[in-house]
Amino acid sequence: MEDNVIYSIDKSEVISDKPREVSFQQLMEITNNFEQKLGSGTFGVVYKGVLNDGPVNRVIAVKKLHSTTEQIDDKQFKNEFELLRVLKHQNIVQLVGFCNETEKVTANYEGRIVVAEEIHRALCLEFVPNGSLGKFLSEQCHELNWNLRFKIIKGICEGLKYLHDFPINHLDLKPDNILLDDKMAPKIADFGISRLMGAENTVKTQTFLGTLGYIPPEFIKKQIISREYDIFSLGVIIRKILTIVMDDQNIVSMDGQECIEYVHSYWEKELQGVPGYASPEADCKQVRACIEIAVVCMDEDRLNRPTMKYIVHKLNKLELKENDSLSPIEQK
């Protein structure tokens, strides 16, 4: 299948809350003239804003793309907008509104005053107050809090399953693109390079995608995109959630089974050592299953990686503390 980006989705039945179109003047009012910066990236800057949403004021995040025509990526904006407007899930960041406006401004060009066009494009997103998973892991890396880690893993998996059911490939899944709400529920964000896939699962591209460390070997070697791309990235994320607390750089070089035993042994020792810990046996079973999932998700052969349907099924059973004798690659 040829490299092909799709910018519209014929799934209008899932659109319940139509995103609001706002002018650039309204954006300046919402953000108090772009006063409070939340973060920045390749394509723009994110600001905190307050949107008058009926009887209440709603805090939002405004992702303002760079305004010069040389920097702005029209396809990236359209792609993210078209995807976000149809995605409605508790583990996906929600689109609230957008700005797509061209303003005529005067500018000095080689000593002459000329009229130029300035493009204003922005996405208004729900505000997710606890920042990124990357920030959480760096700040809480020595805290055990297994139940919270399991909740985050499960939420990421449910959000990714929802995407793959469309089917949409995220293609840049990493801790910095996963946000945590006020209850620490994860929300997948940043869909600028994501793709809606057709009947074919596999696409070849000449465009570099993703972030080093989260890119699967088949993309590095052959530029292959498939849903297994995201599965590999997920495996790296789960492994990081489990192992960052261990502060051991050797884990990355361990083979699959060695990694599983090492991680499980560490958590078993730590949880059993906590006085009065309520459920060390059940939680250690969850730890083992999660690191097993992570390892098989990172299999060199993409066809050996599990589907999101299987992963979510397994995690649901673990949450109920039930026995689960299935191997990590069954129900593919």
Hey, which residues are catalytic here? 172
Q: Residue 275, preceding bond cis, omega within 30 degrees?
A: no
Is residue 64 part of an annotated ligand binding site?
yes
d(CA 153, CA 237): 9
116 to each of 21, 67, 112, 133, how far by Cα in Å? 23, 12, 12, 41
Q: What are phi and psi of 172, to 5 degrees?
A: -150, 45
Find out whether 49 and 59 touch, Cβ atoms under 8 Å.
yes
Q: 240 burial class (0-12, 13-18, 19+ CB within 10 angstroms)?
A: buried
**105 and 116 in contact (C-beta within 8 Å)?**
yes
The sign of the torsion formed by the CA atoms of 332, 253, 180, 172 equals: negative
List phi, psi (to 5°) of 64.
-95, 115
Largest CA distance in the chain: 76
Structure tokens at 58: 């709603």
Going by the annotation, the residues of the binding site are 64
Going by the annotation, the residues of the binding site for ATP are 64
